[in-house]
Structure 1
Amino acid sequence: MDSSTNEVAHEYLPYFRAYKDGRVERFFGSDRVPALIDGSQSGVCSKDVVIVSETGLSARIFIPAGATKPGQKLPLVVYYHGGGFFMGTPFCSVYNNSVSSLAAKANAIAVSVDYRLAPEHYVPVAYEDSWAALKWVASHCNGEGPEAWLNNYADFHRVFLAGDSAGGNMVHNMAIQASVEDLNGVKLSGICLIQPYFGRQDGGVDKCWTFVCPTTSGSDDHRINPSVDSRLSSLRCNRVLICVAEKDNLKERGLFYSETLRDSEWVGEVEIAETEGEDHVFHLFNPNSEKAVALLEKIASFINQHNAG
């Protein structure tokens, strides 16, 4: 065998390795747990939906099992998973359990988006898929969309975006896109970025970003560096929650995003929630820990704070 076939193009051990010949090994997010239409035991029902059949764009929808009552409307959370744009799905056990827990704690409908991944599909495909999914969600606002759960139970006056790591980056970029392109009249109530992935404060970008986006212009790419985006002041939501972890090497990037928002002309409320003594996406791998439970409660409170307003 030609030894060149074993040359590594990018790796993020112990979770991911891509070879220069195009082969990909994913050691995270490759499992798939079934959706749970009967949520009597778990407290949350779920189903899988195809959004764009031509590309395979799909999502898993979660709804509290006791919430499907006539006339009852619930907050709607569109969730973008993390994984560096190259791994993870809504269907794997980690994200299935995490988003299910969020739906239960916040008493909300959650739509977890399965955007396509690099290197099979380089950025901007992930952003294009994520925007198509958000437009699909918004198409239900008049009760005439293809998905009954959204038509019947989603409150389109309480729509939130949330995501972790690369998904936090996705949340920001989708909210920016919503400021320049209409979402069927739907306005975002708030966005939650959980330990978000952006470029470094000194203007640098990581090898990860250049791997998933070979065409990037680098530190002046607004997708990875919000401070160079002239649209930032038009961010179409009134409230932003940024969750960071003390030991996370992305912590400073989350704080920089907060500073960038505050220094722009955006008129809204930004809040930082820091978890002491924890590392990146700790809540995904130890969801029952005291600090992970506290983080979940914080996010749920952020979603439901709007309810009382």
Structure 2
Amino acid sequence: MDTDIAHDFSPFFVVHKNGTIKRLMGSSPIPAPQTLNGAKTKDVTVSSDPKITVRIFLPESASPGQKLPVVFYIHGGAFTIESALSIAYSSYVASVASKCNAIAISVDYRLAPEAPIPACYDDSWEALKWVVSHVAGSGPDPWINEHGDFTRFYVAGDSAGANIANTIAIWVSTKGLGCDVKISGMILACPFFGHEVELDKIWKYCCCEETGVNDPRLNPAASPDLLAKLACERVLVFTAERDFLRERGVTYYKALEKSEWKGEVESVETEGEEHVFHLIKQDSEKAGDVMEKINSFINHK
């Protein structure tokens, strides 16, 4: 081990003794505007302090005035790596927009540990409020005004992004968005939830609050009363057979199913695959199966 390293969170990042943080993985940013996987893209600044950016994806095939489902997407990366602006996430969310014929908005929240948890939740919440400010067709972005159908509004995320999605969907009930918008459904892929101290060392290091393994943001299954407040009608949970976080997704699904939440939850497992395979191997047959399931979920096919 490098003797200059104070904290080793491989394969995500390391912290050197002088405080320097070095990320060990993550894909490079890709600029907008451009057309990507059948969707036009652009970036919009939601907040300048703190700086919060969203990348918006509109299907090339959308005709003027055509109303489309709205998908609010939250990227993963253990709260510490990746970006809504990265090659991996831009290409994937563009595909969600084009293949599901939806307008998608992906939030580029601040990363830990430089911006300690709960910054990722707070930034995603602010971005969500910005998105729903378009419900009456008079928000700041013309694409969302023209094409957003908020009677078909979905929140989605993978890994840590799925974790954040669950929390903000609960906040819709407990905090309120200040407008009459309902979440039609939530899509969680390979969610990063917690229940074991050793596996949750990143959370412990990155969170600036004194919390334990049963913090409802980290481990929602431990708080069935809060799960019952989930502000959506349907939930779709994807797990992968060889994912090191598989049991966390399964535990969440079972807890939600047993809670007093009144919606419908479905779990889909992909055999032989690992964590976020649908993102890493976007052109694979099994990733295509996941996309088709998402399309069916959004468009009720």
Aligned to 1:46: 41
Residue number among 259, 267, 271 corresponding to 2:266 in the alignment: 271
Residue number among 15, 19, 24 corresponding to 1:22 in the alignment: 19
Q: Which runs of 5+ in 2 are unaligned?
A: none
Q: Which runs of 5+ in 1 are unaligned?
A: none
Q: Report the 3-state secondary structure (helix = DSSP H, G, I; strand = E; otherwise coil) of the residue aligned with 2:69.
A: strand
Give the aligned residue type for 1:145: G
Residue number among 31, 35, 46 corresponding to 1:34 in the alignment: 31
Contact 1:61 1:111 in 2 (8 A): yes
State which drifts further: 231-240 or 27-36.
Answer: 27-36
Aligned to 1:79: 73
What number of residue pairs does the alignment pair up? 298
Aligned to 1:10: 8
Aligned to 2:299: 304
CA displacement at 1:129 relative to structure 2: 0.3
Question: What percentage of residue pairs aligned between the two structures are identical?
Answer: 46
Q: Given the alignment of the two structures, is residue 256 of structure 1 paired with residue 238 of structure 2, yes or no?
A: no
Contact 1:204 1:219 in 2 (8 A): no
Give the aligned residue type for 2:246: K
Give the aligned residue type for 1:207: K
Aligned to 2:51: 56
The normalised TM-score by structure 2 is 0.94
The two structures, once aligned, show a CA RMSD in angstroms of: 1.8
In structure 2, what is the Cα distance between the partners aligned to 1:168 and 1:302?
16
Contact 1:205 1:219 in 2 (8 A): no
Q: Report the 3-state secondary structure (helix = DSSP H, G, I; strand = E; otherwise coil) of the residue aligned with 1:234.
A: coil
Give the aligned residue type for 1:117: L
The normalised TM-score by structure 1 is 0.92
Aligned to 2:151: 157
CA displacement at 1:283 relative to structure 2: 1.6
Contact 1:82 1:163 in 2 (8 A): yes
In structure 1, what is the Cα distance between the partners aligned to 2:218 and 2:7?
21
Q: Given the alignment of the two structures, is residue 112 of structure 1 paired with residue 109 of structure 2, yes or no?
A: no
Give the aligned residue type for 2:26: G
Give the aligned residue type for 1:28: M
Aligned to 1:234: 229
In structure 2, what is the Cα distance between the partners aligned to 1:31 and 1:23?
20
In structure 2, what is the Cα distance between the partners aligned to 1:148 and 1:22?
43
Aligned to 2:92: 98
